[in-house]
Amino acid sequence: DAKTTQPPSMDCAEGRAANLPCNHSTISGNEYVYWYRQIHSQGPQYIIHGLKNNETNEMASLIITEDRKSSTLILPHATLRDTAVYYCIVRLAHNQGGKLIFGQGTELSVKP
């Protein structure tokens, strides 16, 4: 599974959009991009995933560049409860043997 690179920490003002970048320059054509987050002392929570197209759900938007070498997770209106560590993961589909391997993630601090 491809490796990802994320900034170790970021700050965001409450109510503003939080844009979390992720580099995955060695991603292969059949690997998906997943985002999870982990609030302190809890298990990680799935946010969103995508392959090529941009995706949006009730939690966030995922923007994947055309060459798929990087992506951005967007929390449109960050709240204090969005303070967490955000993990960007690339992996093959499960039926191709892909497993979720977590890196160090980005620690997002949402400030009032």
Measured from the CB atom, is 81 or 112 closer to another protein?
81
- Residue of the chain from 55, 61, 63, 107 that contacts another protein (CB under 8 A): 107
Q: Does 7 bind another protein (CB under 8 A)?
A: no
Contact 1, 98 (CB under 8 A): yes
Determine the residue type at 13: A
How many residues make up the chain in this entry? 112
Distance between CA 81 and CA 4 in Å, rounded? 25
Q: Does 13 bind another protein (CB under 8 A)?
A: no
Q: SS3 for 80?
A: helix
Of residues 22 through 81, those in contact with another protein by CB under 8 A are 32, 34, 36, 38, 41-46, 49
Q: Give all strands (DSSP E) within 57-105, no chain letters.
A: 61-64, 70-75, 84-92
User: CB 95 → another protein: shortest distance, Å?
Assistant: 4
Name the residues that contact another protein, by CB under 8 A. Answer: 32, 34, 36, 38, 41-46, 49, 85, 87, 91, 93-95, 98-105, 107
